[in-house]
């Protein structure tokens, strides 16, 4: 079995977690402070706020930025559903716009067309670790007085024109689910350079308890979005290896590309845009339109090879179908979403396994043409 993803946990991480278990602090303790300081330092931001998940981080960012019922938030449909869910948590309206066919991120030209008097924010996703066109998006936001949230849940360590993503806009959000390059099991981090936003999100994650409140006083409606000390300890140790992990995963991607060109030349490889450092979350290829993705996936899984259709377009899901606007043509999203295939990609993937995956992929579409 070659899984789609696999967390890379070493002895130092295990020892760090055991140390917390032997302590008397399991929540809101010194490990949270240490993690937040390490993340802020790594990302070059004034503040980092640990939360229970990336989804929780997106939710708190929207609250802190004042996004409420009736407000419109522009985002891609080609992403994980959590981004749209967070918008609905605030009873705001998700406005789906099309993506660029190479970067798979928001197309700024389509974003501009979708802006209305009700638009309040742009939620820019750095898909698969590929930085979005932040220069164009931030210019649009400034012109129309909009807030910008970076969904960097798949992009810890990616750089846009020499600056790490997540700290380029009003708020950035990261996720540490087990399929990410580094993991905390579950968990997320919000980053910002705005003191007031940081203070509000810290209060919101802990049932609305502000810094001026005593233990059982709560000044605002909040949530239990706290990040446990165990998760923080795991994240601290993982972060120490992040730069090596990014470099190593890039070498794995390069081997994939070499084997794909040799074995599966018909397959379209992930784009690599200039001037950016890419922290790869996944290795996602595009199948030719003449091939049946479902048959290929069935064949691969039957051979013990993990794969997945990253990402189904959100606007095609029943909950979100009514939010699709006819004027927001999503032809690129629908085409890409119908052809993308995520292949096994994790730190301990071997060269022999990569070749095996490529050969199995070749065999699958040779055997099952559309």
Check: CB of residue 137 under 8 Å from CB of residue 126. Answer: no
**In sequence order, what are the beta bridge partners of 27?**
228
Strand pairing class (188-192; 276-277)? unpaired
Concatenated DSSP letters for 271-309?
P--TTEE---S-EEEE--TTB-HHHHHHHHHHTTB--B-
What whole-number distance in Å separates Cα of residue 295 and Cα of residue 249?
28
Q: Are 223 and 204 in contact (CB under 8 A)?
A: yes
- φ, ψ for residue 328 (rounded to 5)? -95, 85
Distance CA 269, CA 22 (A): 47
Per-residue CA distances from 358 to 11, 97, 272, 280, 302 (Å): 32, 33, 20, 19, 15
d(CA 48, CA 36): 5
Q: Is 50 helix (H, G, I), strand (E, B) or coil?
A: strand
Peptide bond preceding 311: is omega within 30 degrees of 0, i.e. cis?
A: yes
d(CA 168, CA 182) in angstroms, rounded, equals 21
Catalytic residue among 113, 118, 142, 180: 180
Give 161: exposed, middle or buried? Use CB within 10 Å, 0-12, 13-18, 19+. exposed
Q: Could you give the CA distance from residue 313 to residue 294 in angstroms, rounded to a whole number?
A: 16
> Considering just the CA atoms, what is the radius of gyration of the chain in Å?
21
- The residues, ordered by sequence, that sit 6+ positions from 217 with a Cβ below 8 Å of its Cβ are 209
Catalytic residue status for 180:
yes
Q: Which residues participate in catalysis according to the annotation?
A: 180
């Amino acid at each position: 079995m070659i899984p789609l993803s696999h967390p890379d946990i070493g002895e130092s991480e295990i020892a760090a977690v055991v140390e917390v278990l032997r302590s008397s602090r399991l929540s809101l303790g010194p490990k949270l402070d240490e993690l937040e300081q390490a993340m802020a330092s790594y990302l070059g931001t004034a503040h980092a706020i640990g939360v229970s998940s990336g989804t929780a981080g997106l939710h708190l960012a929207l609250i802190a930025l004042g996004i409420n019922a009736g407000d419109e938030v522009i985002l891609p449909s080609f992403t994980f559903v959590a981004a749209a869910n967070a918008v609905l948590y605030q009873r705001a309206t998700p406005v789906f716009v099309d993506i660029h066919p190479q970067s798979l991120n928001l197309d700024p030209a389509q974003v501009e067309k979708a802006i209305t008097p009700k638009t309040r924010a742009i939620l820019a996703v750095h898909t698969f670790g590929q930085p979005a066109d932040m220069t164009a998006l931030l210019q649009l936001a400034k012109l129309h007085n909009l807030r910008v949230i970076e969904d960097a849940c798949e992009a810890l360590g990616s750089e846009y024109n020499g600056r790490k993503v997540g700290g380029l806009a009003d708020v950035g959000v990261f996720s540490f689910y087990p399929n990410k390059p580094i993991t905390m099991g579950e968990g997320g981090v919000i980053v910002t350079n705005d003191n007031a936003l940081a203070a509000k999100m810290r209060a919101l994650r802990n049932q609305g308890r502000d810094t001026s409140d005593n233990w059982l006083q709560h000044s605002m409606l909040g949530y239990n979005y706290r990040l446990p000390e165990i998760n923080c300890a795991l994240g601290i140790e993982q972060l120490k290896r992040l730069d090596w992990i990014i470099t190593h995963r890039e070498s794995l991607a390069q081997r994939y590309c070499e084997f794909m060109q040799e074995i599966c030349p018909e397959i379209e490889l992930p784009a690599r845009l200039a001037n950016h450092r890419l922290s790869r979350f996944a290795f996602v290829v595009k199948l030719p339109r003449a091939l049946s993705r479902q048959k290929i996936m069935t064949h691969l899984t039957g051979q013990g090879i993990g794969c997945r259709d990253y990402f189904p377009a959100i606007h095609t899901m029943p909950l979100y179908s009514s939010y699709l606007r006819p004027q927001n043509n999503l032809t690129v999203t629908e085409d890409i979403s119908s052809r993308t295939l995520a292949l096994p990609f994790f730190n301990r993937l071997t060269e022999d396994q990569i070749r095996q995956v490529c050969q199995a992929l070749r065999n699958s579409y040779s055997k099952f043409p559309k």
